[in-house]
């Protein structure tokens, strides 16, 4: 078992203690419950200009974070300590950062385009800010990699059978970014126009806005962006992987499940062949929902848009010979 020293707290005093131990050749585990080693933590710098603070204290924090004998744990709290002097076992809980600290350059581009606003909390030092932000209200922190403020999955998204990122697409709609909103919906489901008309809206039943006045019109807004695409003729940007060239996948039925399966396979770069027993595509969407609830023109346009996009990435059409073989197989099955 590798033994070392544990330093709890990333204050200036804690950082100095970690450096002293590390310079003596001892492996140090430095635990800080905040997202970074902050310049202000543990020392009064209110009377110093910003440049002086950076010059005097930031190098010390950088030295601790990069020292070969120091392992830094940010966003971490010690939950239990077992053992006796000289042989302790530590249990820690580390909160996810949702950002790769090795790749983040703290360039602020992500925060500039983030659509989720977080209100400031009294006494936190934070004003209103984006969901992705630097680890402190300033950049005098180590590491300076950004972090995402996330309090679990929203109730509306948990209730959605398709797992649509509802908060994300509503935020994009509020900023007039309709094509991006529709693209985000289609990451989860390929038929937003259909769902915007026939969905039973379980998301709205658990919407937190209901505690204030009434639920957000989540389903109607989904229908709105789908209709806006049809009216404007602007296609939402869709990301598909390069065609893999692997054998096609057979999909039985062109209902919502079959269309979604073909769509997701195409996103991964795989081709597919859809088999449908009915004379029209859509499955129960076309055969089980009355036209006054789901207009056939809108349904056909949605399906055609899906098939057009999939065909560009490997959807395989049946050849006359394949259709003949399928017909013969169907007749044999009927006779049996």
Q: What is the pLDDT of residues 171-194, one digit of tens each?
A: 899 988 898 899 899 988 989 999
Q: Please, which pLDDT band fits residue 225 given cuts at 50, 70 and 90? A: very high
110's CB contacts (< 8 A; 6+ apart) are: 132, 146
pLDDT digit string, tens, across residues 3-62: 788 999 888 788 889 999 999 889 999 999 888 886 554 444 445 555 555 556 778 888
Q: Tell me, what DSSP letter sits at residue 315?
A: B
Q: Please, which pLDDT band fits residue 166 given cuts at 50, 70 and 90? A: very high
If you search the block for the tokens 């202000």, which residue do you land on?
A: 40
pLDDT digit string, tens, across residues 291-312: 899 888 888 888 887 777 677 6
> Is the pLDDT confidence value at 330 over 70?
no
CB 99 within 8 A of CB 55: no
> Is the pLDDT confidence value at 204 over 90?
yes
Closest C-alpha to 137, from 113, 156, 118, 150: 118
Report cis status (omega within 30 of 0) of the bond before 116: no
Write down the mean pLDDT value for the chain.
Answer: 81
CB 78 within 8 A of CB 8: yes
Closest C-alpha to 315, from 303, 325, 326, 324: 303
Of all residues in the chain, what percent carry a pLDDT higher than 70?
A: 80
pLDDT digit string, tens, across residues 228-282: 888 877 666 666 767 777 777 888 988 889 988 888 888 888 878 888 888 888 8
Closest C-alpha to 185, from 149, 151, 221: 221
**Would you say how long the chain is, in residues?**
336
Distance CA 215, CA 167 (A): 13
What 3-state DSSP class applies to 289?
A: coil
Token pair in block for residue 32? 């800080």
Which domains are delineated in the chain? Answer: 5-94 (3.50.50.60), 109-148 (no CATH), 155-232 (1.10.1060.10), 249-330 (3.50.50.60)
Distance CA 211, CA 205 (A): 11
- Could you tell me which residue, 25 or 315, shows the higher pLDDT? 25
What 3-state DSSP class applies to 8?
A: strand
Averaged over 308-335, what is the pLDDT?
58
Which pTM does this prediction carry? 0.61
């Amino acid at each position: 078992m590798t033994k070392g020293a544990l330093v709890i707290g990333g204050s200036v005093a804690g950082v100095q203690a970690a450096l002293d131990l590390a310079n003596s050749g001892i492996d140090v585990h430095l635990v800080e419950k905040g997202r970074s080693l902050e310049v202000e933590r543990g020392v009064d710098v209110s009377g110093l200009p910003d440049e002086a603070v950076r010059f005097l204290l930031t190098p010390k924090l950088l030295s601790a974070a990069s020292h070969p004998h120091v392992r830094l744990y940010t966003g971490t709290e010690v939950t239990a300590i077992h053992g006796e002097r000289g042989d302790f076992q530590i249990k820690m809980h580390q909160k996810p950062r949702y950002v790769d600290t090795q790749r983040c350059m703290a360039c602020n581009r992500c925060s500039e385009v983030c659509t989720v606003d977080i209100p400031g909390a009294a006494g936190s030092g934070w004003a209103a800010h984006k969901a992705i932000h630097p680890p402190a209200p300033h950049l005098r922190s180590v590491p300076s990699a950004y972090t995402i403020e996330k309090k679990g999955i929203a109730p509306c998204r948990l209730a959605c059978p398709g797992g649509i990122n509802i908060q994300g697409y509503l935020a994009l709609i509020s900023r007039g970014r309709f094509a991006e909103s529709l693209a985000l919906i289609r990451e989860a489901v390929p038929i937003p126009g259909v769902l915007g008309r026939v969905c039973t809206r379980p998301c709205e039943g658990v919407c937190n806005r209901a505690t204030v006045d009434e639920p957000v019109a989540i389903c109607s807004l989904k229908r709105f962006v789908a209709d806006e695409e049809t009216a404007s003729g602007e296609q939402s940007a869709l990301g598909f992987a390069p065609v893999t060239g692997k054998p096609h996948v057979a999909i039985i039925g062109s209902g919502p499940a079959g269309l979604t399966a073909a769509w997701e396979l195409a996103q991964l770069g795989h081709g597919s062949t859809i088999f449908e027993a009915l004379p029209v595509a859509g499955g129960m969407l076309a055969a089980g929902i009355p036209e006054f609830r789901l207009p056939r023109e809108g349904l056909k346009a949605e399906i055609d848009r899906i098939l057009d996009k999939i065909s560009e990435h490997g959807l395989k059409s049946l050849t006359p010979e394949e259709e003949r073989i399928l017909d013969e197989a169907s007749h044999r099955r009927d006779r049996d």
